[in-house]
Amino acid sequence: MAPASDHPGSTPVAATSTPVASIEARDSAIGKLFAVLLAGEFAAFHRLIEESAMAPDVRSRIAIARMAASEVGHFDRLAEKVEAMTGLEPDQAVERYRSVFDQYHRATTPKTWYEALVKAYVGDGLAADFYTELADMLPSDSRTLMAEVMSETANSVFARDQVRAAVEADPSIKSALVLWGRRLLGEAITHAQWVLAAEEEVTDLLFAGATSLTGVARFFDVVADKHAERMTDLGLS
């Protein structure tokens, strides 16, 4: 993407200045990125509530409710930023991108409580991993917001503890949960790639400075490595 000063007849711009057109393109891309994340938080909240119906006891339902509450907090902070940067109301932003998240959750609907727990823990971790990697590619003001609202919540620790205890008590459930964890990662990467393919501005923002394929591949390799570590935490390596 050529800077505005490269166009014939334009006035040279000092090396320390950022062309207005570049600033506008960057802000537009950041606004779209935050709108995508807003739709993701909306979907995560509702799926956590739905999947909590499989919880075997009130304590587990309360733990899931706490995770859902943290998603609402993230949603509210992102909604402020999206409206300021794009002029979109929260519902408009969610409607624009919700289909990709609905497809992800339909493809990863758990059939058992332990699958729901793995999804809660891995999903929380995958979101944090995606956001951590994305934050490194953003300007400082947007990076601050990303770090504030997208950190991994401590509320998912209960899921890790329950899964580890269940696998230790009944090793026969391990293989199925290992496969489930791989499916969660595969679906998350596939759907993230769909978003990147649909939003070229966002891809250019995140992976400028490296060839597109190399930058995207490195990004997903890091996410996959962190996912493997998290599966080990669950006792599912």
- CATH code assigned at 36: 1.20.1260.10
- pLDDT at position 12, please? 39
Per the structure, how many domains does the chain have? 1
Q: Does some domain include residue 28?
A: yes
pLDDT of residue 142: 81
- Distant-in-sequence, close-in-space partners of 167: CB < 8 Å, separation ≥ 6: 173, 174, 177, 234, 235, 236
| 40 belongs to a structural domain | yes
Task: Enter the pTM of the model.
Answer: 0.81
94 domain-assigned? yes
pLDDT score for 133: 75
Q: Is residue 13 part of a domain?
A: no
Look at residue 209 in the predicted model and tell me its pLDDT: 55
The answer to whether residue 79 is domain-embedded is yes
Tell me the residue type at 45: F
pLDDT of 1: 39
Positions of the chain with pLDDT under 50: 1-21
- For 216, the domain range is 19-233
Kindly give, in sequence order, each residue whose CB lies less than 8 Å from that of residue 210, ignoring residues fewer than 6 positions away: 218
38 belongs to a structural domain: yes
Asked whether residue 205 is domain-assigned, the answer is yes
Is residue 124 one of the residues assigned to a domain?
yes
pLDDT tens for 2-11 read 333 444 344 3
